Structure 1
Amino acid sequence: MAQPAGPDSEGMRVAVVAGTAGLGAGALGLTVALLPGVSADNGWAVLGAAVLIGLAGAVLRPALVRLLSAIGWAGVVIGWLVAQALLVYAVLTLAPGVHVDGLGAAFGAAWLGAGLMSAGLWVVTAGQDGVVTQHLLRVNRRFRASVPRSDEPGTLIIQIDGLSAPLARWAVEAGNLPALGRRLAGGTHLMTAWHARLPATTPASQAGILHGASDEVPAFRWFEKDSGRMVVTNRPRDAALVEDRCSDGHGLLAGDGVSVSNVFSGDAPASLLTISTARHARGPRRYVSTYLLDPFGLTRSLVLTCGEVLKELHQARRQRLRRVRPRMRRAWPYVLLRGATNVLLRHVNLAVLAEQLMRGKPVIYCDFVDYDEIAHHAGPARPESLAALEGIDAALSVLEEVASAAPRPYRLIVLSDHGQSQGATFAQRYGLRLDDLVATLTGGGEETLIAASGNLALIYLVRREGRVTMEEIEEFCPGLLAGLAAHPGIGWVLVRSAGQGPIVLGPDGCRWLDDDHVEGTDPLRDFGPHAADDLRRHDRLANTGDLVVNSLWDPVTREVAAFEDLIGCHGGLGGDQSAAVLIHPADCPPPGELVGADAVHEYLRTVIAAPAPRSGVSRPAPSRA
C-alpha cells in the first residue's frame, strides 16, 4: 500500500505544532473571556500561557502516565479528571500576565479549554482524510528507527463482534463498508461464512478461535452444580477461570502475539484490555492513561462522545415516533455505554493496535464490540447499527495505512464470532419472563435457576445433584416438560433420558438424537442443517443445563424471542446468529466448510504459518531518513 503522505516530515511537524499552539491560544483566550476567576493582562500573555501549557504537557505527560498507571484504574480516572487541571493551575500561576483564583478556577479553565479546543480541532480536521493516521504514526515514530525491518509477514486479525455473513455481504454491496469492499472488489480478499455452533456467543467462539477449546463454554452464563458457582464470562474472575480450562499454553497468540479487547487472551504474552487478564494487567491502564492525557485523544473523545450520546437520544426518539417494531427502551446506562464503546474503546483500540503494528508484532487479534452492542438494543440491521459498522470500517482504513508504515508486511483477516437474530423479547410477547413461566409450571415446589444467553436458556434444578434426567423431572415436576414444549414462545427443549439419551421436545413432536428418529413433527425442522449435530454436542458439554431451552424461531418473519431484554440477540439457534463471517486473503489456502470456532482456529493457524507475503498483505514502506 502507498505510504500516507508525509506524516513525519519537518513541514508537517511544524504545521501541527503551529496549529495546536494557535488552537490552544484561541481556546485559552475564550476561556479567559468566559470564565470568572481567570484573567490576563493582554493577548501576548494568553499566547505565552498556551505555549507553556503545551510544553509542560509534552514534558510531564509520560511521567504522569507511568505514575497514574502504577496507582491502578483509580489513578487513571483521577488523573483524567484532575491532572490537566493541576497542570493548568501550575502554569497559569507561574505564567507572567495571567492570573487564576485558586484550583477551582483552574479546574474549570482546564475543562472549558479542553472543550473549546475540541470544537476547534473538529472544525479544523472535519472531512480531512488521514488526520487520525498521521497522529498515530507521529506518536509511534520512535519505533521507526528502533524496530528492525523484516519481510516475514505478520497477521492482523480484526473481529467485528456480532456481524452475520448475510448482513456483511449486503453492507458491502450497499457501499456501507468501503474499506472491506475495496479488498473484495480488488480480488485480494474473499468472503465466506462459517457456522458458529451452539452456543453462538462471544466467549464460546473466542474459546474456540483463540484456544481451540469451545467445548469449555456451554453459554454466556451458566451454573456449576459442583461448586455452586454462577459463571458469567464478562466478569474478569470468571473469564480467568474459564481460560485456565481452555489454555494449553499454545493458543493462537502464544509466542509473541497480542490480544486486544478480547474475552480470552489466546495465550498472548501481551494481553491488553482483555477480560481474562484484567485483574493482573497493568498495560491497559498505561494505554488508557496515555490516550486520556493526550490532548488529541481527550478532545476527540469529548466531542465524539457527546455527539454519540446526542445521536443515540435522537435515534431512540425516532424509533418511538415511527412506532418501529420490535423495539425496546434504551435507558441512560446503555446511552453512556454506547458512547464508551463507539468512541473511547474504539479509539483506544486504534491507539493500541497502531503501537503494536509499529512494534512489528507477528500476530495481533482485536475485537471491536461497537456494532454488537448497538445491534442488541436497536436491531442488527437498523440505521444506527449500520452506522457503527461504517465506523469500524473506517477504523480498518486507518489500520491499513498504519500497517503500510510498519516494519513488516501484514496480512489482514476480518471475521466475526457469531451473527445476530432479531425479534420482540419473550416478555414483550407474552407478558411474563421465562422465570415466571417455569415457576408457574413447577408450582414453586422445586428450586430452579435459569441462566439466559440471548434466546437460549439453561435451566438447572439446583437441589438435584448432577444432570437430572427426563424421568426424574417428570417425577419431581410433572408439568414442566410438557408445559415448556407446548408454550408458543419456545421452539424446543433438550433433555436427557436415562435410557434413551438426549431427546428434543417440541410442541407437536420429538426427536431422539442418538438414532435421529422422529415422532410427530420434528422440532428441529426449521432450525437449519447443523441443529441436530449442535444439540448432540451441547448435550455432552460439562455444566450444560438439566434442560436446554430455545425460543421460537419464525422462518416467515425471521424472528426469535430473547429471554433477555434484547432486540438483537444471539446464543441459541434460529436465524443469522449462527452465520458468522470470515474475510481472508485470496491467495491463502481456501478454508473449505468451517463448522465451529475450533475449525476457524485451525484455519487461522494455517494462514499465520504461510511463509511468504501475499496479495492481501499491507507491505512496509521504504524507511526514511
Structure 2
Amino acid sequence: MRVLPLVVTVLLGVVALGLTIAVLPGISADNGWSVLIAAALLGLFGTVLRPALVKLLSTLGWLGVVAGWLVSQALLVYAALEVAPGVHVDGFWTAFGAAWLGAALMSAGLWVVTAGQDGVVTQHLLRVNRHFRRGVPRTETPGVLIIQIDGLSAPLARWALDAGNLPTLGRWLGDGSHALVEWHAQLPATTPASQAGLLHGASDQVPAFRWYEKETGRMVVTNRPRDAALVEARCSDGHGLLADGGVSVSNVFSGDAPTSLLTMSTARRAAQGPRRYVSAYLLDPFGLTRSLVLTCGEILKEVHQARRQRHRRVRPRMRRTWSYVLLRGATNVLLRHLNLAVLAEQLMRGAPVVYCDFVDYDEIAHHAGPARPEALASLEGIDAVLATLEEVAAAAPRPYRFVVLSDHGQSQGATFAQRYGLRFDELVAELTADGAVTASVEDEQAGRARVLRADLTRTGKEVVEAEAGRPPVVIAASGNLALVYFAQRDGRVSLEEIEERYPALLPGLTGHPGIGWVLVRSAREGPIVLGHDGRRWLDDDHVEGADPLRDFGPRAADDLRRHDRLAHTGDLVVNSLWDPVTQEVAAFEELIGCHGGLGGGQSRPVLIHPRDWDPPGALTGADEVHHYLRGCLKKLTPPG
C-alpha cells in the first residue's frame, strides 16, 4: 500500500474516533494524544486479532458469523479504549455504540476523500491478500476468470458499449484483446438451464426455472439449495467446467469445482468456506462499512427512481415493494462487494479457473426494465468491478485471461395480469371448470379445478393455492413460459385426452390474446404447436393455417422439438404473446423484465472472449458454449 493512502486512512481513523468520543455520552478523553493512542491501538488490535476472530467465528456456524459481525468490532474498540491512557468508557455497550458510529464516520470520510480516485478498492484488496503474494509460487501458465453478467442480452450489450457506458469492456474490445459474439440460449432461457449447460454441459436436465415432477409430486425450484443439489446430481459427471482445480462463486451449480463458495447447489454441504469469507467481509471495517453506506445510498436511489417512474407514468412498470428495495441493496452492493473480495483472494491464490455470476443487473432489470436507467447503472457498476479485477490480476502469481458472458437476456412488457386483469392460473382454472366436475375426476368439488400455483418471488417465497393432496392441475411459471401439468395422470397427457377431459381448455388458451402458442403432444401425431389461427406439426414441420411460430425466430421450432423431449416438461407448454412491433412479451409472473420463454432478447446472450482464442463460430445452446470453453481451457494447460 502506498504511503499517502495509509496516512490518509490513519488520519481519518483518528478523526472518526475523536468525533465519536466527542458526541457519544459515556465516553471521554483527556486530550488529543489519548485519542491518537486509542486509534493506534484499535488499528493494531484489528490487524493482529481480526484474522483469528474470522477463523474462530466461521467455525461456530452462521450464528457465530452474525454475532461476530455485531459485537467483534465493539470488543476491539472496548479493549483499545480500556488500554489507552486518558480515555474513559462506561462499559461494553457504550463501546458497542462507539464501534458502529466510528465505523460509519470512517466510511463516510473514506468515501469523501477517495471519491473519484482510481485504485482505492484495488489497494485495499491487495493489502488484505498480501500474504498470498509471498506464499504462492509464480507460474506463467495462464489462469482464466469467467464473469457472468446475469441477464445481459447481446443487443443491449452492443448498445451500452456504443453509448460508452461500459468503458472497461469497450477498451478490451477496442484495443483488440477481446471479441464479442452472440449465442443462442435454447428454451428455457433461464439461469439454471444455462448454467447446467455452461458449467456441466447438461442443460437438458432443466426444463424451466421451476417445474413439477409427477413421480414424486414435488415442485422443483432451482433457487433452493436442496433442489439445486438434486439437479446438479443429475447434471454432473465429475468433469464439469471447473473440475480441474477451479472455483465456483455465487452460482446455481458448481461445475464440479473443488472449491465452491456462495453456490446454491453446495450451500448445504460446504458452509464453513462461505462462512469464513462472509465473516472476513463483515469484520473488515473498510469493506463492510463502505458497503453499508453504499447500500443505504442504493436504497434511497431505488425509492427515488421508483417514485420517478410513477410520476412520469412510465409504462410498463410494476409496484416495487420494500422486499425488492432491500434485495436491490443486497445484490447491487453487498453481494457484489462480497463477490469482489472472494474473487480477489482466489486470484491472489492463483486459482486456475474461476467462474462467478453477478446477478445485480438481472434483479434490477426484472423490476425496472432491462434498458431502464437504473438497470444500465448496475451494468456500469459491474464494468467497474471488471476494471478492479483487472488491476488485482496484474499482481496475481499467474497471468489471467478474462471471459465475460451472459446466460440469457431479458424481454420487457406489461405482465399478463396487468394486461388482462387475471393471472394465468386463474384463466386455466376458468377453462378447466367443466372438466373438473366430470365423474372421472377425483376432486368432487363443483365449480372449478384446484390449481397449484408455483409462482415464486425471486427470494423463493412460494405461493400455493391448493387443498391438501395432489390437485388436478399444477402450473409452474417461469417468466413468460408456463408449464401446465395434469398432476393426477401419470406420464405425458396427450392432446386427445386433454380435449376429452377439458374441452374448453385448448381453444380458450389459443384464443386468448395474451397467449402466443401452446405445445402439446398428440398420441397419434407427435408434438404439435397450437396458435390463434393455425397449428404446426413438429415431426414433419407442416403447417395448417397461420404458423404459430412465425414471429418467434428461425430457431423456435428446433427449440420446441428439443423441449418436447425433456424429462418433466409440462403436459402443456405455454408461451405468452410476443409483439414484434412493440418488442414486448407478457410475463406470467409479476416481472416487467422477464426471461424463460421465447420472444425478444431473452434468448440472445453474449460471449466476450480473448481474441487470440479460436473463433467459436455459431453457438446454439449453453452446452456448445461449455464445450467451446472446455476446449480453450485445455489449450492453456501445458501437457503432462
TM-score of the pair, normalised by structure 2: 0.93
Name the residue aligned to 2:166: 177
Equivalents in 2 of 1:21, 1:587: separation in Å? 45
* Residues 187-202 of structure 1 aligned to structure 2 (within 5 Å): 187-202=176-191
**What SS is found at the alignment partner of 2:116?**
coil
Within the alignment, does 1:204 sit opposite 2:193 as a pair? yes
**What SS is found at the alignment partner of 1:195?**
coil
Equivalents in 1 of 2:25, 2:518: separation in Å? 67
**What SS is found at the alignment partner of 1:191?**
strand
Equivalents in 2 of 1:270, 1:375: separation in Å? 30
* Residues 50-61 of structure 1 aligned to structure 2 (within 5 Å): 50-61=39-50
Equivalents in 2 of 1:483, 1:612: separation in Å? 57
Equivalents in 2 of 1:548, 1:424: separation in Å? 21
Deviation at 1:408, TM superposition (A): 1.3
Within the alignment, does 1:538 sit opposite 2:527 as a pair? no
Name the residue aligned to 1:213: 202
Equivalents in 2 of 1:276, 1:551: separation in Å? 30
Deviation sequence 1:549-592 (CA, Å, 0-9, x none): 10000000000000111000000000000000001111111100
- Which amino acid in structure 2 is aligned with residue 79 of structure 1? G
Name the residue aligned to 1:72: 61
- Which stretch of structure 1 is more off in the superposition, 193-202 or 356-365? 356-365
**What SS is found at the alignment partner of 1:346?**
helix
Equivalents in 2 of 1:401, 1:88: separation in Å? 33
Deviation at 1:93, TM superposition (A): 2.8
Deviation sequence 1:315-341 (CA, Å, 0-9, x none): 111111111000011111111111111
Name the residue aligned to 1:412: 402
Which of 335, 351, 354 lines up with 2:341 in the alignment? Answer: 351
Deviation at 1:81, TM superposition (A): 1.4
**What SS is found at the alignment partner of 2:404?**
strand
**What SS is found at the alignment partner of 1:39?**
strand
Equivalents in 1 of 2:430, 2:71: separation in Å? 54
Within the alignment, does 1:111 sit opposite 2:136 as a pair? no
Gaps of 5+ in 1: 1-6, 614-625
- Which amino acid in structure 2 is aligned with residue 375 of structure 1? A
Deviation at 1:16, TM superposition (A): 4.1
Name the residue aligned to 2:330: 340
- Which amino acid in structure 2 is aligned with residue 274 of structure 1? T
Name the residue aligned to 2:221: 232
Within the alignment, does 1:88 sit opposite 2:86 as a pair? no
Within the alignment, does 1:502 sit opposite 2:527 as a pair? yes
Which of 359, 377, 383 lines up with 1:387 in the alignment? Answer: 377
Name the residue aligned to 2:393: 403
Q: Is the 8 A contact 1:588 1:610 kept in 2?
A: no
Name the residue aligned to 2:30: 41
Equivalents in 1 of 2:6, 2:43: separation in Å? 9
Q: Is the 8 A contact 1:506 1:522 kept in 2?
A: yes
TM-score of the pair, normalised by structure 1: 0.95
Name the residue aligned to 1:596: 621
Q: Is the 8 A contact 1:236 1:277 kept in 2?
A: yes
Name the residue aligned to 2:436: none
Count how many residue pairs are aligned between Structure 1 and Structure 2: 602
Deviation at 1:140, TM superposition (A): 1.3
Deviation sequence 1:406-444 (CA, Å, 0-9, x none): 111111111000000000000100111001101100112
Deviation at 1:610, TM superposition (A): 2.2
Which of 531, 534, 549 lines up with 1:524 in the alignment? Answer: 549
Equivalents in 2 of 1:486, 1:610: separation in Å? 53
**What SS is found at the alignment partner of 2:59?**
helix
Q: Is the 8 A contact 2:528 2:538 kept in 1?
A: yes
Which of 233, 240, 248 lines up with 2:237 in the alignment? Answer: 248
Equivalents in 2 of 1:582, 1:392: separation in Å? 15
**What SS is found at the alignment partner of 1:482?**
helix
Q: Is the 8 A contact 1:240 1:277 kept in 2?
A: yes
Q: Is the 8 A contact 1:419 1:577 kept in 2?
A: yes
Name the residue aligned to 1:4: none
Within the alignment, does 1:142 sit opposite 2:131 as a pair? yes
Which of 493, 498, 504 lines up with 1:479 in the alignment? Answer: 504
Deviation at 1:612, TM superposition (A): 8.2
Equivalents in 1 of 2:134, 2:64: separation in Å? 32
Equivalents in 2 of 1:16, 1:128: separation in Å? 11
- Which amino acid in structure 1 is aligned with residue 370 of structure 2? P
Deviation sequence 1:164-210 (CA, Å, 0-9, x none): 00000111111000100011111111111000000000000000000
Deviation at 1:234, TM superposition (A): 0.5
Within the alignment, does 1:584 sit opposite 2:598 as a pair? no
Q: Is the 8 A contact 2:331 2:359 kept in 1?
A: yes
- Which stretch of structure 1 is more off in the superposition, 460-469 or 384-393? 460-469
The 1:611–1:57 alpha-carbon spacing in structure 2 relative to 1, beyond 3 Å, is closer
Equivalents in 2 of 1:355, 1:129: separation in Å? 20
**What SS is found at the alignment partner of 1:71?**
coil
- Which amino acid in structure 1 is aligned with residue 65 of structure 2? V
Q: Is the 8 A contact 1:421 1:575 kept in 2?
A: yes
Within the alignment, does 1:563 sit opposite 2:563 as a pair? no
Q: Is the 8 A contact 2:292 2:334 kept in 1?
A: no
- Which stretch of structure 1 is more off in the superposition, 377-386 or 460-469? 460-469
Percent identical: 78
Which of 351, 364, 375 lines up with 2:365 in the alignment? Answer: 375
Equivalents in 2 of 1:421, 1:399: separation in Å? 30
Name the residue aligned to 1:360: 350
Within the alignment, does 1:294 sit opposite 2:284 as a pair? yes
- Which amino acid in structure 2 is aligned with residue 116 of structure 1? L
Equivalents in 1 of 2:532, 2:65: separation in Å? 54
- Which amino acid in structure 2 is aligned with residue 469 of structure 1? S
Equivalents in 2 of 1:385, 1:92: separation in Å? 45
Name the residue aligned to 2:444: none
Gaps of 5+ in 2: 434-447, 451-471
Deviation at 1:307, TM superposition (A): 0.9
Q: Is the 8 A contact 2:449 2:473 kept in 1?
A: no
* Residues 254-269 of structure 1 aligned to structure 2 (within 5 Å): 254-269=243-258
**What SS is found at the alignment partner of 2:183?**
strand
**What SS is found at the alignment partner of 1:127?**
coil
Name the residue aligned to 1:154: 143
- Which amino acid in structure 1 is aligned with residue 265 of structure 2? S
Deviation at 1:482, TM superposition (A): 1.0
Q: Is the 8 A contact 1:422 1:560 kept in 2?
A: yes
Equivalents in 1 of 2:22, 2:609: separation in Å? 55
Q: Is the 8 A contact 2:368 2:374 kept in 1?
A: yes
Equivalents in 2 of 1:41, 1:215: separation in Å? 70
Equivalents in 1 of 2:120, 2:606: separation in Å? 30
- Which amino acid in structure 2 is aligned with residue 93 of structure 1? E
- Which amino acid in structure 2 is aligned with residue 158 of structure 1? I
**What SS is found at the alignment partner of 2:211?**
strand
**What SS is found at the alignment partner of 1:150?**
coil
Equivalents in 2 of 1:547, 1:487: separation in Å? 15
The 1:445–1:368 alpha-carbon spacing in structure 2 relative to 1, beyond 3 Å, is closer
Name the residue aligned to 2:296: 306
Within the alignment, does 1:449 sit opposite 2:438 as a pair? no
Equivalents in 2 of 1:190, 1:16: separation in Å? 36
Equivalents in 2 of 1:497, 1:612: separation in Å? 50
Taking only aligned residues, the RMSD between alpha carbons, in angstroms, comes to 1.2
Equivalents in 2 of 1:312, 1:398: separation in Å? 25
**What SS is found at the alignment partner of 1:491?**
strand
